[in-house]
Amino acid sequence: MRELFDKVLGAYLGLAIGDALGATVEFMRPREIVIQYGVHREIIGGGWLKLARGQVTDDTTMSLALGGALLQGGTHALGLHARGDDTLVHSIGQAFVQWLQGKPVDCGNTCRRGILRYLHEHTLAGPYNPGDAGNGALMRNLPVVLATLGDDAAFARLSIAQAHLTHHHPLSDAATLGMGQLLRLLLHGAEHCECRHWCDLWITQNPAFGFTPYRGHATAYVVDTVQTVLHFLMLHEDFEAALVATVNQGDDADTTGALVGMLAGARCGASRLPQRWLHRLQPATVQAITDQTSGLLALAQTVKEDAHV
Ligand code: MN
Ligand code: MN
């Protein structure tokens, strides 16, 4: 249990570290990064959002909003006998509305459009939209993975439900489920070769995400995002090496960074995250993440017991 807690905390803190590190070079080209920073490897803030040192962006704060809604819904809502889901997804929608009204430092266009639709129409999903293949639903799904660790069906159902609040596209769905499955594997201690095997199988089923040879695109298009994340995650077994290589690819660097940070953080655990990065995060962020980690794991335990009744 202590090992699981360390891995879960490593994933959530890794997400925030990747977000804070990557945000400095978001929307830059690799060549521009080299000119300005050489190799970008320190959490220094700045970037197009003019962040404070250690400040995180929507990738982390939307995850916290989602995690907060899950915790507020509690075991009751998370009993997740499919009929109970709607109430919970509404409370996630409301949490996103509150998050947006709190004037977050950034918000993707598709997320904004979906949240405003929820605010005005109270619908849990928009119609299928070919423009919804961005990475915004994928980037925030960590709390769902944690809360449903013991229940495969609830994991799949709730991942898609929270995704559809803002993104309604099969590639977004596939990526959200796929990266969630990989995270679950890593939290359960999967070795490198097991992950490699999972990737091979998943790419056979979802060929769009094939990442060998790596094309070098790191945009917010969910296919580019996932290719980048899997390429660098599998290339470097070390957390720092994987994350530095990822964010120096530029473009949607905070989000590719957040996702690699999450997966590599689950792989190594919180106790092995680079201390200098951890200490650069804002204390309120670390506190919120640590609190949610305990809460979501406790929730997972009750969901699991429920699923086995
Ligand atoms: Mn962001
Ligand atoms: Mn981003």
CA atoms of 177 and 138, how far apart (whole Å):
8
| Domain span holding position 228 | 2-307
Ligand 2 centroid to residue 106 C-alpha, Å: 9
What average pLDDT does the structure give for the chain? Answer: 95
Bridge partner residues of 134 (DSSP): 221
How far, in Å, from the CA of 108 to the mean position of ligand 2? 8
Quick one: pLDDT at residue 207? 98
Q: Which of 45-59, 72-86, 155-169, 211-225 has the lowest mean pLDDT?
A: 72-86
Residue type, 131: G
Comparing CA positions, the residue from 22, 15, 42 lying closest to residue 251 is 22
pLDDT digit string (tens) for 228-246? Answer: 999 999 999 999 999 999 9
Distance of alpha carbon 160 from alpha carbon 82, whole angstroms: 13
Residue 274: give its domain's CATH number: 1.10.4080.10
Give alpha helix (H) positions in 148-251: 152-164, 170-187, 192-205, 222-235, 239-247
What is the structure's pLDDT at 309? 55
pLDDT at 177: 98
Backbone angles phi, psi at 80, to 5 degrees: 50, 35
Backbone φ and ψ of 126, nearest 5°: -85, 175
CA 258 to ligand 1 center in whole angstroms: 9
Region 146-158: mean pLDDT is 94
What's the pLDDT band for 172 if we cut at 50, 70, 90?
very high
**Percent of the residues in the chain that have a pLDDT greater than 90, as a whole number:** 91
CA of 105 to the centre of ligand 1 (A): 8
Return the pLDDT at 78: 59
Residue 254 CA, ligand 1 centroid: distance in Å: 5
Q: Using the mean position of ligand 2's atoms as its centre, give its distance from the Cα of residue 132 in Å.
A: 15
pTM attached to this predicted model? 0.97
Q: Which amino acid is at 166?
A: T
Ligand 2 geometric centre to CA of 173 (Å): 18
* Number of structural domains the chain divides into: 1
- What is the structure's pLDDT at 1? 75
- Taking the C-alpha atoms of residue 64 and residue 140, their distance in angstroms, rounded to an integer, is 8
What distance in angstroms lies between residue 26's CA and the mean position of ligand 1's atoms?
A: 8
Q: Which two tokens stand for residue 288?
A: 């919120």
Report pLDDT for 302: 85
In this structure, of 31-45, 168-182, 192-206, 292-306, the range with the lowest mean pLDDT score is 292-306
| Rounded distance from Cα 107 to ligand 1 centre (Å) | 7
Say which ligand is closest to the CA of 62: 1
Of 307 and 273, more confident: 273
Q: Which of 63-67, 75-79, 143-147, 270-274 has the lowest mean pLDDT?
A: 75-79
pLDDT greater than 90 at residue 81: no
Is pLDDT at 289 greater than 60 in this prediction? yes
**Contact 17/196 with Cβ under 8 angstroms?**
no
Residue 50: phi, psi to the nearest 5?
Answer: 55, 55
Q: Report the separation in Å between the CA atom of 159 and the middle of ligand 2, taken as the mean of its atom positions.
A: 20
Tokens, residue 208: 């769009």
The single-letter code of the amino acid at 254 is: D
305 C-alpha to ligand 1 centroid (Å) = 35
Lowest mean pLDDT across 69-78, 159-168, 255-264, 291-300: 69-78
Q: How far is the CA of 256 from the centre of ligand 1 (A)?
A: 10
pLDDT, residue 76, reads: 60
Nearest alpha-carbon partner for 154 in 3, 5, 6, 299: 299
Q: CA 227, CA 124: separation in Å to the nearest integer?
A: 29
Across the range 30-39, mean pLDDT stands at 98
